[in-house]
Amino acid sequence: MAERRFEGKTVMVTGAGTGFGAEIAVRAAAEGARVVVHYRSSAAGAEETARRIRDAGAEAVVVQCDITSWADVKRMADAVFAEAGTLDALVNNVGDMAASQTSWRELTEESIDHVLAVDIKGTMVMVHEFGQRMLERQRGAIVNIGSTVIVRGSPRAPQYAAAKYGVLGITKSYARAFAPHVRVNTFAPGFMRTDAVVNRADWKAGRERELVAATPAGRIPAPEEVAAAALFLASDDAHHMTGVYMTCDGGYTMLGA
């Protein structure tokens, strides 16, 4: 049985209609949270996540927003706080890894603009709008989902690595701006068996075997296996942690002393 770290609390997860976001949202519900499920285009996925949350005995609220639009994020933030009254934790899970790209040689200006708009601008305006409302209430925790790609780089999609470096700057800046009342941290999972990853051409062509061999833990986990670790940074257990970059990758990016 899951811990009840979020009993009586409200947790919002962006991009919760599919993949890792859906599993974080369902895990938060299993731990007692009322969950705000955000989606941009996957309405059916968001409703399925909401159903799973309700099946777990928790309350779900579904909201739609294009996080690359500051005006749309403001609208959503006003709606969420009007509905919930407060927000105890926000998990900024939405990101674009340019999954269809298999090499840096395929880089396009359109892809650069889109990935940076989603991962950097989108994360920043979410932290800015929701964080300042948390700060007014002098409580809250924000978890930005990063990536271990910043340690090793990405010859496949350098725009993705650049974007996730940007997330670190956002995390550290707002951790200082919102201290001591609102904590802001980055959670960096390694590779997970999400649909976006396992359907990549390079994954099917042997990348999976290479990664398993290079991971001390010896396996690539499903997203639901990592969700509780992401929520640790949103919980009171992490009350003295802000501005940190925390990895959960089976040792893949382990560094020497």
Percent of the chain scored above 90 by pLDDT? 88
- Mean pLDDT computed over 15-38: 97
Alpha helices in the chain (DSSP H): 19-30, 43-55, 70-84, 109-116, 123-136, 149-152, 158-178, 195-198, 201-202, 208-214, 227-232
Residue with tokens 């925790």: 141
Alpha-carbon gap, residue 254 to 79, rounded angstroms:
42
From the list 160, 165, 245, 252, the catalytic residue is 160
Give the C-alpha distances (Å, rounded to integers) separating 68 from 45, 73, 175, 246, 248.
20, 8, 21, 25, 27
Would you give the DSSP letter of residue 36? Answer: E
CA distance 223 to 92: 15
Average pLDDT of span 175-184 = 98
Question: For 36, phi and psi rounded to 5 degrees?
Answer: -95, 115
Task: Tell me the CATH number for domain 10-247.
Answer: 3.40.50.720
Give the residues across from 185 on adjacent strands: 143
Where along the chain do its domains lie?
Answer: 10-247
Q: Is residue 19 within 8 Å of 194, Cβ to Cβ?
A: yes
**Does the active-site annotation cover 174?**
no
In this prediction, residues 171-181 reach a mean pLDDT of: 98
Q: In a 10 Å sphere around its CB, with 0-12 CB exposed, 13-18 middle and 19+ buried, how is residue 138 labelled?
A: exposed
pLDDT band, very low/low/confident/very high, at 3 (cuts 50, 70, 90): confident
Q: In this model, does residue 257 exceed pLDDT 70?
A: no
Spatial separation of the C-alpha atoms in residues 208 and 199, rounded to whole Å: 11
Q: What is the mean pLDDT of the chain?
A: 95
pTM for this predicted structure: 0.94
Q: pLDDT tens-digit profile of 109-149?
A: 999 999 999 999 999 999 999 999 999 999 999 999 999 99
Q: Which of 186, 255, 197 is nearest to 223 (CA)?
A: 197
The reported pLDDT for the residue numbered 243 is: 98
Q: Average pLDDT in the 206-231 region?
A: 94
Residues in the chain: 257
